[in-house]
Amino acid sequence: MKIIAIDQSGQRHELEALEGWRIMEIIRDYGLPIKAECGGCCCCATCHVYVAPEWLSKLVPPNPEEEDLLLDAPDTKANSRLSCQILMSAELDGIEVVLAESAKP
């Protein structure tokens, strides 16, 4: 399984992904620029990514906490998600995300 992550400078990275891992953890473990300050407990919004539109419908919808955090983030768009709230599964093999400017460490 893999994910495609495009960093804030536009560089594309293909990352090996494991089932059940949070996308945030995969991006962070590869050393890409993602702050993920709260470590995945859905209380910081510094793991903000834009999900390629064709993948959005495959994701579990955001819970109210995630929605609130995204409302407060400075660069939220219609396809914004918190990457710590996306769990990797076979259905998401190949998912493409762009790291938000506000996720920069």
Q: Which residue is nearest to ligand FES (CB)?
A: 84
Contact between 84 and ligand FES per CB under 6 A: yes
Q: Pseudo-torsion of CA 3, 24, 86, 67, nearest 10°?
A: -130
Nearer to ligand FES, 55 or 86 (CB): 86
Residue 23: closest CA among 75, 78, 99: 99
Contact flags string 27-66 toward ligand FES, x per CB under 6 A = ---------xxx-x-xxxxxx-------------------
